[in-house]
Structure 1
């Protein structure tokens, strides 16, 4: 051991144990440093510095404080937590402490990279300009996902948000897939693993999983480890990396519990005052790197009580570049938004994309009004009846999250749907696009 490392090592005893948090006196310790806690029976646990108050250091013990003695010895390692990184981690599954849990070989000789750290220097960021095709029509057609975008799926308990997240993962045209699960029940963990394996993407996937029964502190490490690995693949391997995180509300709840254990004063609804900062530090890792690859972040954010003003979705909305709003088992076209879609629509996609997108949504909005008129027993006009037929086709062909279509294939289906329900004069679109793409009458009748 070198002299500089020896100077960073500190041996001390515990003064207080509150739940999974231990407190002691120490100096020369930095926030985020890790330590080894050796109990009186010789068992060693890993802990992380989560608070500093002058010379009082608070550490979160990964395995919890149960059975820990105040006579335990703490040895600070003088470095932050790191995670293994190399091409060998593709197709591997790790727990929240970074240890493999898939029964595969240990990666002791592979390189380790620090977890956390600052976001990317703005001068190294490139303006987003490339689309990630997901084969989900409600995303690709109406709210396109753009490389380096950070965007959540707003949902509630019982909605198929994990199914949608997994589907985007195995259908998206990304080079590397990094999945981070926080507070997952075993069934959800098994579902994600099985989905990636069955659809042939597991070989280019890395999974970091914290199950509901795992230590709480590891839940906070999942996004940082996933993003650290994603950033290395993007910068050093020039890969287009898609990061999937579920569920960021579970992540925020873990921060709240630890804040209570630290006796911090809560802000709104019990969450700590730095909730926005903590979320932003993770989301801002999304980047299209100059001369390298990109990191795109897609998360699940559940809304307790379907309340979009809840602190977690509320703060998330200020950070991210839109949201996919999952409601009633479908992606709601009115609640969803991609603020970067204008960078790719008509540029990366076909010339008719913008006009088709606007026309389809306009007709669906009018169709919803016609459905209300029908429900209230008002008289329906011939055009209302066209709209009612259109709304059924629109929901079946595009809003169902299980539908899988390429962008051009979906655009062609849009034209076919419009032709089955309306006349060209009803569309109010550019004439040259109607002349080029609108199906002829024979195709309309056979459809």
Structure 2
């Protein structure tokens, strides 16, 4: 281990050091100040004679008299099953007052790409207990399904609800009794208030016992945010593929992660891409998102729900735009629904789950799931279009049929989407609510549902409505 005292420049979170030997990319570095304080960093760029180091704890207090030691290894995460129930900071150090972690092994946080040939196709339904997800944009085990939100919307409440309630039902028609997920929660750049809310909810509901929490707060160094999701995903891969857990990884907020990339890029004086973000941001995000999946012959799985806030509510912004290219759909939060008091305020029309068709249907959920979802989409979309028309001509000018679709849209929002953050609906309950709403429409309007299913479920919905 060689030690250098040849710092030439300190720029933002970066330290530049002259060296006389080749230094490996991503190599871990210790920087010791003259007063004995030690900071950790990572090699960000290595060229002949000069090395750029990103410092995790920030460069405050560093000067050119500091000593730099290259440790000869990349950053590793100590992994063990005992991590469940623990709370770590953004760099993987325990902050819950518990005992030191005794790892079974230490794993490189960059991870290894899953060989496409070894991937198992995702097709096992995950029951989140949230009707707007389960019924309309179904999550599948091994999928990556982001939540697109905006500043001020309750995306954290939805994330906590999914973390509490997510299960893999054992068979179709199951009432929610199934395999629970281990939850890896990676928070990047959140406020202390948000962190307290997360921890209170985890502790109150008992979810912490099956969770590993990584917390990078808003006042922590921004550069640490580039490490936090990789620590979380390394832990998830260990629990899933070595210990057989079904792991749900929730990463919030990816916007803060991308802002950290932009800050580092500016410090390196890189040529910026769209809106100042690095040109390699697509590749960088893909290295995180593509770590979700299943492996043939392995029992466990890694399912990802990244959360991002769209700057200016703009879904064409580079962060949601690139995320949408990489992931298999998105759950869209809606400001108008939130202002109406709908919980959770999920707008199902622009939302999408590209793997939904493979995760629903007979033997997976219920034989009517796909048809009910398609019919509710079509009916709600027509009701939304008619709302615009009502603003022009008034409701009295509409036909009886059109008024039924308007009523459907209103009840759909207030009965199907609206359920609160503490109601856990099984897929049976979700589809029954759907049939109850579709019973408002004449049978001849249900042109997306098989006639056998109409005979089987439509009358049941009539009976439910009559009893009510």
TM range (shorter): over 0.9
Q: Which moved more, 1:191-200 or 1:235-244?
A: 191-200
- Tell me the distance in 1 between the aligned counterparts of 2:465 and 2:111: 57
2:80–2:102 Cα contact (<8 Å) kept: no
- Tell me the distance in 2 between the aligned counterparts of 1:335 and 1:223: 27
1:331–1:401 Cα contact (<8 Å) kept: no
Task: Tell me how far 1:144 sits from its aligned partner.
Answer: 0.5
Task: Tell me how far 1:257 sits from its aligned partner.
Answer: 0.3
- Tell me the distance in 1 between the aligned counterparts of 2:389 and 2:181: 48
How many residues align structurally? 438
The change in CA–CA distance for 1:404 and 1:377 in structure 2 (over 3 A counts) is farther
The aligned runs of 1:133-172 (5 Å cut-off) are: 133-172=127-166
- Tell me the distance in 2 between the aligned counterparts of 1:309 and 1:391: 27
Deviations 1:272-295 (A, max 9, x none): 110000000000001111111111
Residue 309 of structure 2 corresponds to 302
- Tell me the distance in 1 between the aligned counterparts of 2:239 and 2:246: 8
Runs of 4+ in 1 over 4 A off after TM superposition: none
Question: Is 1:397–2:415 an aligned residue pair?
Answer: yes
Residue 88 of structure 2 corresponds to 94
Residue 16 of structure 1 corresponds to 9
Residue 385 of structure 1 corresponds to 403
Deviations 1:398-419 (A, max 9, x none): 2226253111111111112222
Task: Tell me how far 1:305 sits from its aligned partner.
Answer: 0.9
Residue 4 of structure 1 corresponds to none
- Tell me the distance in 1 between the aligned counterparts of 2:265 and 2:67: 24
Question: Is 1:355–2:353 an aligned residue pair?
Answer: no
Task: Tell me how far 1:30 sits from its aligned partner.
Answer: 1.3
Task: Tell me how far 1:62 sits from its aligned partner.
Answer: 1.8
The change in CA–CA distance for 1:164 and 1:443 in structure 2 (over 3 A counts) is closer
Task: Tell me how far 1:376 sits from its aligned partner.
Answer: 2.0
Tell me the C-alpha RMSD between the 2 structures: 1.5
The change in CA–CA distance for 1:81 and 1:331 in structure 2 (over 3 A counts) is same
1:234–1:289 Cα contact (<8 Å) kept: no
- Tell me the distance in 1 between the aligned counterparts of 2:315 and 2:398: 35
The aligned runs of 1:123-134 (5 Å cut-off) are: 123-134=117-128
The aligned runs of 1:30-45 (5 Å cut-off) are: 30-45=24-39
Aligned match of 1:120 in 91, 103, 114? 114
- Tell me the distance in 1 between the aligned counterparts of 2:214 and 2:325: 26
2:190–2:217 Cα contact (<8 Å) kept: yes
- Tell me the distance in 1 between the aligned counterparts of 2:296 and 2:191: 39
The change in CA–CA distance for 1:226 and 1:401 in structure 2 (over 3 A counts) is farther
Give the TM-score, by structure 2 length. Answer: 0.90
What secondary structure sits across from 1:48 in the alignment? Answer: strand
Residue 181 of structure 1 corresponds to 187
Aligned match of 1:417 in 418, 437, 444? 437
Residue 172 of structure 2 corresponds to none
> Structure 1 stretches of 5 or more lacking a match?
1-8
What secondary structure sits across from 1:151 in the alignment? Answer: coil
Aligned match of 1:427 in 440, 446, 451? 446
Task: Tell me how far 1:109 sits from its aligned partner.
Answer: 5.4
> Structure 2 stretches of 5 or more lacking a match?
168-179, 339-344
- Tell me the distance in 1 between the aligned counterparts of 2:465 and 2:349: 28
The change in CA–CA distance for 1:175 and 1:394 in structure 2 (over 3 A counts) is same
Task: Tell me how far 1:369 sits from its aligned partner.
Answer: 2.3
Aligned match of 1:372 in 388, 391, 397? 388
Deviations 1:99-134 (A, max 9, x none): 001111111455322211331112221111111111
Residue 5 of structure 1 corresponds to none
